[in-house]
Amino acid sequence: MSPKPGHRTIVAIRIVENRNGKPGKNVVYHFPMRNPLSPPTGSARRLRWLLALPKLGIVLLLAAMLSLLWLLQHNEAEEERTALIKDVLWLEQNLRFHLNGNEEQLQQLAVDLASQPEPAATFRTRAAHMLKTRPEIAQLLWLDAQRQAIDEMPSGSLPEHGIESPIPPIAEKYFEVASRLGKPVYSDPYFASSGRAHMALLAPVISERRLTGMLVVIYPLDALLANLVPWWFTEKYRVAIVDDNDVQFATKTNIEGSTSQTYQIPLEPPGYGLKLKVSSYPSPGNYLQRLLTVAIIVLGAGVFWSLWVVRDLMKKRSQAEEALRAEHAFRTAMEDSLTVGMRARDLEGRITYVNPAFCKITGFSSEELVGRTPPMPYWIPEQLEETYAIHRTVLAGNAPPDGFEITFRRKNGERFQALIYEARLIDGNGHHTGWMASVLDITERKAAEELARLQQEQLQFTARLVTMGEMASTLAHELNQPLAAIASYNTGCLNLLERPDCRPADIQPALQKLGVQAQRAGRIIRRVHDFVRKSEPKRAPCALGDVIEDCLGFVEADARKNQVRIECTIPQLPPIPADRLMLEQVLLNLIRNGMEAMATTPAKARLLRIDIELGASELRISVTDQGCGISPDIRDKLFAAFFTTKPEGMGVGLSICRSIIEFHRGRLWADDNLRSPTGSGTIFTFTLPLEAA
């Protein structure tokens, strides 16, 4: 399978299948994994869209709300301005009405002063009345034509500008204007020494077309505002009298703070560029609106921020999901590819999980197994008790760590050998939740091992036959001796019987000797028979001394023929658990190899020694020769099957010896005989445990 673009591939997995750790199958799997650089998948693109939509919605909502607020504010400002203009117009009208009224009254007084018989009293009465009803007037003066004060109200309080001139200097020039025009005239506004701004109204007193006097009304501008602007007006507005240069002469308000809108209107009379400047204060509604705007913006930002956080979270979550999916796919692929059966059980022994390999091995489906409690369908019915016992051992946590073998049956009834390793199942929180078993079908391996064992046995048997064949001529020679003796004893007996004086007592010794020889021949034949007998290997207590003696009996003739001396002292030995026949085969092989190695050794030095050492836990048997020795280049191959340096050799002897000794849980090795007088020789040593394992 070739990797697709935008994906990267893993993983090479080695699955070790057998318990010896011998290499199993190497399997390479390609798993699709998301590459961070690859273009986003469909779901990621959809997620991005889904996240963008609420953001767009919120932006639009914010824009709509802000526009609405702006519109409201705009309308309100418009309304405010309209109300301001209306109020200002009303105020201006009110002021004009008042001032015109004052002007008319003053004019009437001037006419009355010219025509009444007692002008002084008239002035007093009317001026007092005017001052009382018109609080905006601070002072009322009556001057003669020479600008000298005739009377003033309030009486005794001359104007602040000084006693030399009863009218303010700025009003002086308007004296002329008023007398010339013959009608009331307003002066420019001016600041008195107290800092207060004032304004004067001058009305000429004309009698018979001649100026006889002048009436002057002094208005302090702040008093004008204080008395003519109603209280409710100053609750909403700040009213000021300013000139063209925005110099402020008087002001009235009840509220502190900044103003929002301003409207100016000329103040007439008196004119001269005087203006009424009215500024409105922002209404409390305005503050609320602003607060609302700020709140909307803050809330919008908050929503945006939370969306951002959610987007980040969702991104991370989608990445985690993607990784989880890949991980899951990887695990599933790995699980499906395993050839080792996996089975999980809870603490009560109920199956909670089986992998496909386990199902394949047993033939049962996952649905048939998961949730089952013992006895399991794959248990052998006739071995229920034993299997229950193993089951209980596992649940008690005493399963052998090296695994155990058990026979199970498949769904079709077929039996199979399983090798099971049990381990604790620990969950993510570190709690022991059950048992996990890996199950190997070792039926084939077992069959192969059995076959190998049988072949090894066959080989051993063949080797014994070969040994026998090789020894056949010497055995025949050996057998010949007792047979020849029997024949001669027999002839002797017959000859004796032919004699007339023959007595049974004469024949008896010969017959006894004949019997001994016959037994000897019988022993030789039995030994041969025993040696080549085919039997199952079995370990039983046996006396090593007897085994060695038997072997020596076998090789005695060969040794004589080859002029080899065999030295052997057998100490007192306990019986050891061994297969007698197998030990005989080992000893015979080592002795014969030693004798053959000494073929070129001078006849005098042909000595073979068998030593037995009794240790605390094992016996150590060594066969020492003074033969040709083993050259270093063949030392490593010595125990390999079919290795031989002899033209007639089979090369299986030492290999069989080693497997026999290992079967007895002992060791076999070769050393150089360093003490040999010939300078060469070999010592083959093997050990045998005293106790059965």
Question: Is-contact 613 619, C-beta < 8 A?
Answer: yes
Distance of CA 219 to the CA centre of its chain: 90
Question: Is-contact 309 403, C-beta < 8 A?
Answer: no
Q: At its nearest, how many Å lie between ligand ADP and the CB of residue 607?
A: 13
- Pick the binder of ligand ADP from 93, 646, 671, 691 (CB under 6 A): 646
For position 562 contacting ligand ADP by CB under 6 A, the verdict is no
Q: How many alpha carbons fall within 13 Å on the CB side of residue 643?
A: 12
Q: Is 53 exposed, middle or buried (0-12, 13-18, 19+ CB in 10 A)?
A: exposed
Q: At its nearest, how many Å lie between ligand ADP and the CB of residue 635?
A: 10
Contact residues for 503 (Cβ-Cβ < 8 A; gap 6+): none
- Pick the binder of ligand ADP from 289, 638, 685, 689 (CB under 6 A): 638
Residue whose CB is less far from ligand ADP, 506 or 596: 596
Angle at 582 between CA 577 and CA 587, to 5 degrees: 105
For position 659 contacting ligand ADP by CB under 6 A, the verdict is no
Helices (H), 151-265: 169-181, 221-228, 231-236
Q: Is 693 exposed, middle or buried (0-12, 13-18, 19+ CB in 10 A)?
A: exposed
Residue whose CB is less far from ligand ADP, 219 or 554: 554
Q: At its nearest, how many Å lie between ligand ADP and the CB of residue 466?
A: 8
- Pick the binder of ligand ADP from 555, 653, 666, 688 (CB under 6 A): 653
Task: Give me the residue whose beta carbon is nearest to ligand ADP.
Answer: 653
For position 645 contacting ligand ADP by CB under 6 A, the verdict is yes
- Pick the binder of ligand ADP from 127, 197, 205, 654 (CB under 6 A): 654
Q: At its nearest, how many Å lie between ligand ADP and the CB of residue 614?
A: 24
Residue whose CB is less far from ligand ADP, 418 or 559: 559
- Pick the binder of ligand ADP from 214, 514, 582, 597 (CB under 6 A): 597
For position 628 contacting ligand ADP by CB under 6 A, the verdict is yes
From residue 459, alpha-carbon distances to 453, 462, 534 in Å are 10, 5, 11
- Pick the binder of ligand ADP from 644, 665, 689, 690 (CB under 6 A): 644
Of the listed pieces 12-20, 183-191, 407-415, 622-630, which binds ligand ADP according to CB under 6 A?
A: 622-630
- Pick the binder of ligand ADP from 460, 467, 682, 687 (CB under 6 A): 682
For position 354 contacting ligand ADP by CB under 6 A, the verdict is no
For position 680 contacting ligand ADP by CB under 6 A, the verdict is no
Contact residues for 157 (Cβ-Cβ < 8 A; gap 6+): 139
Question: Is-contact 624 611, C-beta < 8 A?
Answer: yes
Of the listed pieces 305-313, 443-451, 563-571, 592-600, which binds ligand ADP according to CB under 6 A?
A: 592-600
Provide, for the chain, the percentages of residues in helix, strand and coil under a 3-state DSSP scheme, each rounded to the nearest 5.
50, 20, 30
Q: At its nearest, how many Å lie between ligand ADP and the CB of residue 593?
A: 3
Binding residues for ligand ADP restricted to 64-123, rule: CB under 6 A: none
* Size of site (CB under 6 A) for ligand ADP: 22
Buried b (16+ CB within 10 A) or exposed e, 398-437: ebeeebeebebbbeeeeebbbbbbbeebeeeeeeebbbbb
Cα torsion angle, 386, 536, 654, 523, sign: positive
Helix (H) or strand (E) holding 421: strand 415-426
Chain residues in the site for ligand ADP (CB under 6 A): 589, 593-594, 597, 625, 627-630, 638, 643-646, 649-655, 682
